[in-house]
Chains A and B, each alone.
Chain A
Amino acid sequence: MNGIPLSYFLVLSAILFGLGVLGFIFKRNIITIFMCIELMLNAVNLAFIAFSRALGQFDGLVFVFFVIVVAAAEAAVGLAIVLLISRNRRSLNIENVDEMKS
């Protein structure tokens, strides 16, 4: 991996993040949206690690560990919420979940 320039990693990270954003905005299935969030988190992780390696510092790695921990916690809570929504509404369409509107 020594020969691959930093920009490659960053472009890949940006593409993954963009896919995550687009999926988050346009998909209707809650599970898919959830996966898109994970995709965005990991795109950021990729950028962190790339920078960490390119700059020879460990700060980025530390951040990545934190992000992974947060993502795990989020997955636990988020999946529980998704499960409840699907059980109560017999549907996973996010457009049905809009009780908070004014």
Chain B
Amino acid sequence: MPVLDHIWILLLFPLAGSAITGLFGKRWSHSLVNTFTIGSVALAFLATLELTREFFSVPASYFPVVRTFLPWISAGQFRVNFSFQFDQLTLLMLLIVTGVGLLIHIYSTGYMGHDDGYYRFFSYMNLFMFFMMTLVTAGNLALLFVGWEGVGLCSYLLIGFFFTKKSAADAGKKAFIVTRIGDMGFTIGLLLVFWTFKSLDYSVIFGRAAGMPVELPGHVGVLTAIGLLLFAGAVGKSAQLPLYVWLPDAMEGPTPVSALIHAATMVTAGVYMVARMNFLYAHAPVALFTVAVIGALTAFYAATIALVQTDIKKVLAYSTISQLGYMFLGCGVGAFSAGVFHLMTHAFFKGLLFLAAGSVIHAMGGEQDMRNMGGLRKKIPWTYATMFAATLAIAGIPFFSGFFSKDTILAAAAIGPHPHRILWTLGLAGALLTSFYMFRLLFLTFHGQPRYDEQTVHVHESPSSMIGPLVILAIFSVGGGWWALPKLFGGRDYFSDFLSPVFSASQRLMAATQGAGVAEEVGTNFATDLLRVFWQPAVAAALLGLLIAWWFYIARPDTPRRLADAMRGPYKLLLHKYYVDEIYGAVIVSPLLWISRNVLWHTVDERVLDGMVNGTGSAARAAGGQLRRLQSGNARSYATWVVIGAVAVLTLFIWTMVRQ
């Protein structure tokens, strides 16, 4: 099995593409840059397809495969290797990352075609692919952390891609610093993992965790602490409450970046990490419940903000935060495969939504405000059709991909290993809001009368390099969830069946700790019946959202204005995003700046540190000023000093002799 045994080859393609293009690509033509960067991602995708073939050529029990290639760190007990783990979850993530990544790379050739930093953009994108693939293939937490920080770096570089624009540079810094807060917890979590298990390898961690008791509420211990600390990293990386504030600002980056990094792949790294560490979380129900609570709260909270945003990308940004919340809700209630399912479908439809939004922005000549759009349906029919499919998917309209994944999550929240009524209600309310704000976006952008100046803005359909990826993603947005289709008719959910080897141990454990009455595996036995019971409210919510949006923005277009006037307070609260940025600014950023400026800068740095350095300098100068008087230039005074010295030495000599 050529690729499976040398899985590092997979990572080499985008790394080489990034390095070669970044170092030498400055004067290259666009097509040469495309050859290297898109070629590298295409090769990585083909290699992943070959990996898929190899995967199915051996029995599933062969996995997980762990391949160690080189030692990396060896210091005392602390040993880390360049080792890669390959199993069903890795394969799925690789397919998503390389597949969606390839499509977005192709799209970018059209979208970025007029930009000066063409080679730089693709070099960063390739580097991102490298780190993201490192993240998902890593066989230990240290290597995962390398990918984790690497994608953060690429996110920073690409958000601030238009670095001459202050808001873009600031947004890049904000993304980096805010995620760093979560990574602080993640790093401590890594240390705690090593302290507890004496290793960072997944296999060793899970092997040793199996021998530890489940930390039920009231008996929380180190596993719960590890779970919470690692989740802190996921909160930062996946933009959950309270560290979500960087993601809306990250929309300053080029739209393909928003699609690839801030919708389809990087922000889902937190979900992947939680799913990867599922066995650990199964031992820490308290940490897992925290994941579910944060997820459900974020899913609802971000959806409310998305209701009133007018920037097309901002709506999608808050929508992403909200959907990530669903994924965490799924993982948190113990249905890891449901969370990963939503991760996959979300990569399809949210990637598509962003790319379609990019196509709209492209068509409008850079306009992002939906209030200045309208009636684009006829002008850009391909973009409209694909975006419509994605909207149906994200809203959870039956038989589109989002319907299967979101409803599996909601079903799990209702009767999963760790069910919770309030969380389910929050999720359901979020689903209603999701449907509403997405159709609002669609109607505002594509329906109604044009609200732009048709004389100056020449709306045009995007080139085929952009439409092609849209169409392919639209197909997956529609059909990406059909793995679970047979379940609706009493059959099996092939998605969770596929992933069950990864999660089965934790499912059994959670079933055992919950006692009887909970099915062995989420998404198979019990979900068959559950989906029938619980899909009705979820579908009703989706359709209701659609209806309200239709009423507000097509049937009675003056309703939103009147409603906003009637509910001035709540409307302003939402419009200003609950003033969270302002609160963070006042409570955290300004005190920090004050302390940095007045204490650390003007006192510690200028007085203490500079004082020490300057003091040493002036002491040396003063001593030198005195000593230089000795060098009079007069030879006879030198002679005098020699004589005095000789006499002194002689005296000392004689004195010691006499004393003896």
Chain A residues within CB distance 8 Å of chain B: 21, 24-26, 33, 94-95, 97-102
Please tell me if B631 contacts chain A, counting CB pairs below 8 Å.
Answer: yes
Q: Which residues of B have CB within 8 Å of A26?
A: 636
| CA of A21 to CA of B643, assembled, Å | 8
Query: In the bound complex, what is the Cα–Cα distance between A25 and B643 (angstroms)?
Result: 9
- 3 nearest A-B pairs in the assembled complex, by CB-CB distance: A101-B633, A98-B633, A102-B628
7 contacts between A and B (CB under 8 A): A21-B639, A24-B636, A24-B639, A26-B636, A94-B636, A101-B632, A101-B634
A95 — which chain B residues lie within 8 A by C-beta?
634, 636
Beyond the given A33-B635, A102-B631, could you list 11 further A-B residue pairs with CB under 8 A, ordered by the A residue number?
Answer: A25-B636, A25-B639, A94-B635, A94-B636, A98-B633, A98-B634, A98-B635, A101-B632, A101-B634, A102-B632, A102-B633
- A64 CA / B636 CA spacing, docked (Å): 26
CA distance A21 to B635 in the complex (A): 13
The answer to the question of B616 belonging to the interface, with a C-beta cut-off of 8 Å to chain A, is no
- Identify the closest chain A residue to B636 (Cβ): A25
Using CB atoms, name the residue of chain A closest to B634. Answer: A98
A94–B628 CA distance with the chains assembled, in angstroms: 20
- B607-642 interface with A by 8 A CB criterion: 628-629, 631-636, 639-640
A14 to B636, CA, bound (A): 20
Interface centre among A94, A95, A99, A102 (most CB of B within 10 A): A102
Residue of B nearest to A94 (CB): B635
- In angstroms, Cα B640 to Cα A33, docked, is 13
CB distance from B234 to the nearest CB of A (A): 67
Complex alpha-carbon distance, A42 and B636, angstroms: 20
The docked-state distance in angstroms from the alpha carbon of A17 to that of B636 is 16
Give B630's nearest chain A residue, CB to CB. A102
Q: Cβ of B640 and Cβ of A101 under 8 Å apart? A: no
Interfacial chain A residues near B640, Cβ < 8 Å: 25
Residues of A within 8 A of B636 (CB): 24-26, 33, 94-95
Per the 8 Å Cβ criterion, residues 507-557 of B in contact with A are none
Chain B residue with Cβ nearest A24: B639
B639: chain A residues at CB < 8 Å are 21, 24-25
Given contacts A21-B643, A25-B640, A25-B643, contact A97 B635 (CB under 8 A): yes
Contact B643 A101 (CB under 8 A): no
- State the CA gap A102–B637 with chains docked (Å): 14
B628 cross-chain contacts in A, Cβ below 8 A: 102
Residues of A within 8 A of B634 (CB): 94-95, 98, 101
In the assembled complex, which residues on chain A have CB atoms less than 8 Å from the CB atom of B643? 21, 25
Interface-central residue, B628, B631, B636, by most chain A CB under 10 Å: B636
CB-defined contacts of A99 to chain B, threshold 8 Å:
633
- How near does chain A come to B629, taking the closest CB pair, in angstroms? 8
Chain A residue nearest to B646 in the complex (CB)? A21
Alpha-carbon distance between A69 and B547 when the two chains are bound, in angstroms: 116
Tell me, in angstroms, the Cα distance from A46 to B566 when the chains sit together.
Answer: 120
A32 to chain B, nearest CB (A): 11
Q: Whole-angstrom distance between the alpha carbons of A24 and B642 in the complex?
A: 11
- How far in angstroms is the closest Cβ of chain B from A31? 14
Residue of A nearest to B628 (CB): A102
Cα-based distance from A24 to B634 in the complex (angstroms): 12
Query: B628 CB to closest chain A CB, in angstroms?
Result: 4
